[in-house]
Amino acid sequence: MKLIRDCNIKLNNSETRNFLADAFYPETDEKLPLVIFVHGYKGYKDWGAWNLMGEKFAEAGFFFVKFNSSHNGTTVEDPHNFGDLEAFGHNNYSKELSDLGVVIDHFVKDPHVDDQKIILVGHSRGGGISIIKTFEDERINGLITLASVDTLERFPKEEALEHWKKEGVYYVLNGRTKQEMPHYYQFYEDFQNNVHRFDVERATEMAKAYVLIVHGTHDESVSAKSAEHLHILNPNSELFLVEGADHTFGSKEPWTGNELPEYLNIVTEKCIDFINKNMK
């Protein structure tokens, strides 16, 4: 089977700015289910083994899309590095949801896509964004969370919050790149101004889609209790815990291998089976 890899497609969002997306799909005359991958905090579309995951989805008969959110710190000119920390500092949940809407609107029009079968796959913070989008957009009929947060209220504690407000910015060290990554206070203000919209728990309860919740039991960033909580909120969901897996299911940046890491391969196969069982 021949795979089409259409990379670095430039998308325009008038509410944010231009950003890039990739599409992987098999060469076929059939219309394919659309699977959109949403990266997490300090993530980007080409991080780790996401390309290999996309190829596996495509080989299984899906139209797989991944993208850089417009303010994730990468640029259209350099999608692999955090070359625009100013943009990163001005990111917020409203912008990420807006970008995801642009991605959906763009790719449902692709002649290879079955617009009646739209699945979001969100990793970490991208899981929370995907949950909210699934509740808001009735076109989405499949939701898969990978190591997802169960709340988007992940901000400094009260004393640090006051300092953030006073200074206007706080910095988080990127352990891999050693960059001090800024977060401007507008991020918190955006959350406060849209606190009901960004209620992940409510969106999980109300989501009218097939839901698969995937989490590693050795996740060092987001506890597996978050997955169990999401499952309780949406008892019709399926919970799949991967024994021994970490936050990125064995992947890391850079990923130099030609095969998926063992845990991420297990997860990808589970996702494919879940979609085939419920939607294909």
- Domain count for the chain, please give it: 1
Distance of CA 208 to the CA centre of its chain: 19
Asked if residue 280 has pLDDT above 80, the reply is no
**Distance from C-alpha of 25 to C-alpha of 194, rounded to nearest angstrom:** 36
Residue 118 is assigned to a structural domain of this protein? yes
Residue 170 is assigned to a structural domain of this protein? no
| pLDDT reported for residue 1 | 83
CA-derived radius of gyration, the chain: 18
In angstroms, the Cα distances linking 234 to 185, 238, 245 are: 32, 9, 23
For residues 59-75, average pLDDT: 98
Residue 228 is assigned to a structural domain of this protein? yes
Contact indicator for 70, 13 with CB cutoff of 8 Å: yes
Give the DSSP H/E element, type plus range, for residue 141: none
| pLDDT reported for residue 99 | 99
| pLDDT reported for residue 130 | 99
Residue 184 is assigned to a structural domain of this protein? no
Look up the domain containing 223 and give its range.
3-153+198-278
Asked if residue 100 has pLDDT above 90, the reply is yes
In angstroms, the Cα distances linking 81 to 88, 169, 176, 203, 236 are: 12, 22, 11, 32, 39
Give the pLDDT confidence of 184-205 residue by residue, as tens digits. Answer: 999 999 999 999 999 999 999 9
For residues 26-37, average pLDDT: 98
Residue 180 is assigned to a structural domain of this protein? no
**Distance from C-alpha of 93 to C-alpha of 127, rounded to nearest angstrom:** 12
Give the pLDDT confidence of 77-89 residue by residue, as tens digits. Answer: 999 999 999 999 9
Residue 39 is assigned to a structural domain of this protein? yes
Contact indicator for 160, 74 with CB cutoff of 8 Å: no
Kindly report the pTM of this predicted structure.
0.98
Residue 179 is assigned to a structural domain of this protein? no
Distance of CA 266 to the CA centre of its chain: 18
CATH number reported for the structural domain that contains residue 258 in this entry: 3.40.50.1820
What percent of the chain has a predicted confidence (pLDDT) above 90?
Answer: 99
For residues 90-98, average pLDDT: 98
> What's the sign of the alpha-carbon dihedral 245, 119, 7, 56?
positive
Torsional class of 42: left (φ above 0), alpha (ψ -120 to 50), beta (otherwise): left
Q: Which two tokens mark 83?
A: 């070359």
Question: Among residues 219, 218, 211, which one has the least CA distance to residue 274?
Answer: 211
- Strands of 210-216's sheet, edge to edge? 3-11, 19-26, 63-67, 32-38, 113-123, 142-146, 210-216, 238-242
Residue 175 is assigned to a structural domain of this protein? no
In angstroms, the Cα distances linking 163 to 22, 168, 185, 276 are: 39, 8, 10, 49
| pLDDT reported for residue 279 | 86
